[in-house]
Amino acid sequence: MRVAADPPLGFVSNPPDHMLFIDMRVYLPRLLEDFAARGGRVVKASLDAAGVRDLAAGHDLVVVATGRAGLSDLFPRVPERSPHAGPQRRLFAGLVRGLRMPERLEFMFQLSPGHGEIFENQYLTLGGVEPALLIEASPGGALEPITRMRYEDDPARFDAALLDAVLAHAPLTAERVDRQWAILSSPDAAARFIASHA
């Protein structure tokens, strides 16, 4: 972990065992398969707010785990319980090339006060182990613009903007950048994530 300060603050922790995160697109379907194999019933359907209410009428517990497709209307914001009227972070995540692997696989967390955080780790993909970045940008900070860009609109501009963000706000990552820097953007790139490990 590193915090941009004067002087910078940082520390390294070496857990006794490797850490592993299985991509949720792999992990959740497996959980559903296990649930069904143990006698559970899995129903796949699109639901609106009325559908959730109908479902709740026939069950002791219904857990809503998404705010999309109008389901957020079921849970209006209660101003006296939340000081926030908007999201506190905007996110970008992607696999990158042109970033040399650290000497030992690790999870790196670099904080840039007022701008956000840049996380670096490694993903095991169908093509091997690849470096990955996650930016959690503070609204109004210098990292926010990259979260509002669309790669498809101008790939070269996007790659340059991401590189600028890393150089300015993630010095430990910037030390390992080379001239081949770019986002891995093949059509199946999003499907290539299998697991992250450090």
Question: Has residue 46 been placed in a domain?
Answer: yes
Query: In terms of domains, do 49 and 132 share one?
Result: no
* Cα(155)–Cα(29) distance, integer angstroms: 32
Query: In terms of domains, do 121 and 35 share one?
Result: no
Query: In terms of domains, do 71 and 89 share one?
Result: no
Residue 180: pLDDT band (50, 70, 90) is: confident
193 φ, ψ to 5°? -65, 130
Count CA atoms closer than 13 A to 49's CA, side-chain side: 8
Query: In terms of domains, do 89 and 167 share one?
Result: yes
186-190, Cβ contacts within 8 angstroms, sequence gap of 24 or more: 189/94, 189/95
**Which has the higher per-residue pLDDT, 72 or 168?**
168
pLDDT digits (tens, 9 = 90+) for 49-72: 888 889 899 888 888 877 666 787
Query: In terms of domains, do 95 and 191 share one?
Result: yes
Question: Has residue 19 been placed in a domain?
Answer: no
Residue 136: pLDDT band (50, 70, 90) is: very high
Question: Has residue 16 been placed in a domain?
Answer: no
User: If you average pLDDT over every residue of the chain, what do you get?
Assistant: 85
* Cα(56)–Cα(17) distance, integer angstroms: 42
Mean pLDDT of 184-188: 52
Report residue 106 as tokens: 């690790």
Write the secondary structure of 128-175 as one string of H (helix), E (strand) and C (coil): EEEEEEEEEECCCCCCHHHHHCCHHHCHHHHHHHHHHHHHHHCHHHHC
Tell me which residue range forms the domain holding 71: 25-76
Report residue 89 as tokens: 């972070």
Q: What CATH number is attached to the domain comprising 169?
A: 3.30.9.40
Query: In terms of domains, do 92 and 114 share one?
Result: yes
Query: In terms of domains, do 148 and 69 share one?
Result: no
pLDDT at 196 (0 to 100): 44
Report residue 192 as tokens: 């290539």
Report residue 154 as tokens: 């101008």
* Cα(147)–Cα(91) distance, integer angstroms: 6
Question: Has residue 13 been placed in a domain?
Answer: no
Query: In terms of domains, do 69 and 104 share one?
Result: no
- The total number of structural domains in the chain stands at 2
Instruction: Work out the percent of the chain whose per-residue pLDDT is above 90.
Output: 39
Final residue in a domain of this structure, among 76, 93, 116: 76
Query: In terms of domains, do 185 and 91 share one?
Result: yes
Question: Has residue 96 been placed in a domain?
Answer: yes
Query: In terms of domains, do 66 and 113 share one?
Result: no
Query: In terms of domains, do 98 and 159 share one?
Result: yes
Position 100 pLDDT exceeds 50: yes
pLDDT at 25 (0 to 100): 84
pLDDT at 69 (0 to 100): 61
Q: How many residues appear in the chain?
A: 198
Mean pLDDT of 117-146: 91
The model's pTM: 0.77
pLDDT at 184 (0 to 100): 67
Neighbours of 13 (CB within 10 A): 7
Residue 192: pLDDT band (50, 70, 90) is: very low
Q: Decide if 129 contacts 178 (C-beta within 8 A).
A: no
pLDDT digits (tens, 9 = 90+) for 26-47: 899 999 999 999 999 888 888 8
Query: In terms of domains, do 60 and 92 share one?
Result: no
